[in-house]
């Protein structure tokens, strides 16, 4: 370790956990996976981009996994709040956030970053 470097300020590569094959998530749909952080909704866009957020709307806790995917957003099935899948933020005029999680697709497999 160099002088002044500590374990808290070093960049550490994430550990990745395999979730599923990309084909197991329907286009413009989602899949729920259980993790140490709770239930996650993993979404797939029409362009095969994949996003993961807590499966709870910040408004009333509705299951986002049952919402409608359009572009890079999902509409909550309970009260039609729109959530940005990349950030977990509610779209204006609504205010709130559900936690997003880092995911990637490699060789047709979907991976979740742990930690």
Domain locations in the chain as residue ranges: 17-114
What's the confidence (pLDDT) of residue 10? 63
Q: Are 41 and 23 in contact (CB under 8 A)?
A: no
**Residues with pLDDT less than 70, the chain:** 1-10
CATH pick for 17-114 out of 2.102.10.10, 1.10.3720.10, 2.60.40.1180, 1.20.120.1200: 2.102.10.10
Three-state DSSP at 3 gives coil
What's the confidence (pLDDT) of residue 2? 46
pTM here?
0.86
**Token code pair at residue 19:** 């979730």
**Token code pair at residue 112:** 């979740």
What's the CA dihedral at 31, 36, 39, 44 to 10 degrees?
-30
């Amino acid at each position: 370790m160099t002088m002044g470097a500590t374990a808290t300020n070093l960049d550490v590569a994430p550990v990745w956990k395999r979730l599923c094959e990309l084909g197991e998530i329907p286009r413009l749909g989602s899949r729920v996976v259980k993790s140490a952080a709770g239930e996650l909704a993993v979404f797939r866009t029409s362009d095969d981009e994949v996003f993961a957020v807590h499966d709870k709307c910040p408004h009333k806790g509705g299951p986002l996994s049952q919402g409608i995917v359009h572009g890079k957003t999902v509409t909550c099935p309970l009260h039609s709040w729109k959530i940005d899948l990349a950030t977990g933020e509610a779209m204006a005029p609504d205010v709130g956030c559900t936690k997003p999680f880092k995911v990637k697709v490699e060789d047709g497999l979907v991976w979740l970053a742990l930690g």
